[in-house]
């Protein structure tokens, strides 16, 4: 298999952590690419016409699989990893994974606003609105989802761990831990997992 990703994309990191946790490393070739929404750079446009990563070629000659959630479901099914429950417990896991991905969507847009838009055109209320999404989602996890995070490992754990790591990486000044002691304590432990340490962005 061939995975197109980069060391700093949190969506690619989700897939990388799953690969490491599931023992699939020796079955995947990693192809480092880069680009932005306004300059595709070396992004794998032939594999994903949206110009986004990660993208996975599962078998040579076949169409690529893309979107991190789709790739994660595919790889977990491939190795019978059990990160997605097969009973009614699936829906909470998928919902929390989607919540974590929504945090990442908003956090990445904040980065793009600062990096790609000329300073004179940057709109602070829009950036604040993105952070409000992040903040509401974090409050919801603190209030409603700690029971799931205290349970057996699922893809939701990986997604939340990666999302919180990205907030530290790109938005540390906003201090997401303030007012969320349970989530902060959970993250401090989860971040020490070898797969999380090995994929930590620099």
Same domain, 48 and 101: no
The token pair at 51 is 């110009």
Same domain, 134 and 177: yes
* pLDDT given for residue 121 in this prediction: 93
Q: Exposed/middle/buried for 161, CB within 10 Å: 0-12, 13-18, 19+?
A: buried
Mean pLDDT of 10-28: 97
Q: Assess if residue 84 is contained within a domain.
A: no
Query: 202 pLDDT exceeds 90?
Result: no
Domain, as residue range, for 158? 90-198
Q: Assess if residue 85 is contained within a domain.
A: no
**Per-chain mean pLDDT for the chain:** 97
Q: List the CATH number of the domain containing 124.
A: 1.20.1050.10
Q: List the CATH number of the domain containing 20.
A: 3.40.30.10
Segment 94-119, tens digit of pLDDT = 999 999 999 999 999 999 999 999 99
* pLDDT given for residue 176 in this prediction: 98
Q: Assess if residue 59 is contained within a domain.
A: yes
Tell me, letter by letter, the H, E, C secondary structure of 23-92: CCHHHCEEEECCCECCECCCCCCCCCCCCCCCEEECCCCCCCEECHHHHHHHHHHHHCCCCCCCCCCHHH
Number of domains in the chain: 2
Answer for the pair 197, 41: CB distance below 8 angstroms, yes or no.
no
| pTM to 2 decimal places | 0.97
Mean pLDDT of 33-54: 95
């Amino acid at each position: 298999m061939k995975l197109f990703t980069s060391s700093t994309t949190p969506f690619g990191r989700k897939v990388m952590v799953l690969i490491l946790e599931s023992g699939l490393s020796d079955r995947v070739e990693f192809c480092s690419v880069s680009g932005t929404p306004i300059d595709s750079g070396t992004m794998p446009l032939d594999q994903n016409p949206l110009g986004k990563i990660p993208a996975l070629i599962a078998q040579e000659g076949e169409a690529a699989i893309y979107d991190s959630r789709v790739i994660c479901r595919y790889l977990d099914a491939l190795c019978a990893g059990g990160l997605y429950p097969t009973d009614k417990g699936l829906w909470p896991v998928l919902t929390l994974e989607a919540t974590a991905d929504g945090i990442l969507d908003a956090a990445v847009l904040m980065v793009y606003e600062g990096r790609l838009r000329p300073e004179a055109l940057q709109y602070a209320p829009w950036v604040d609105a993105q952070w409000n999404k992040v903040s509401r989602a974090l409050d919801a996890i603190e209030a409603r989802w700690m029971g799931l995070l205290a349970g057996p490992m699922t893809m939701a754990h990986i997604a939340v761990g990666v999302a919180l790591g990205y907030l530290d990486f790109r938005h540390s000044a906003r201090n997401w831990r303030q007012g969320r002691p349970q989530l902060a304590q959970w993250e401090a432990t989860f971040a020490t997992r070898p797969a999380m340490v090995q994929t930590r962005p620099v």
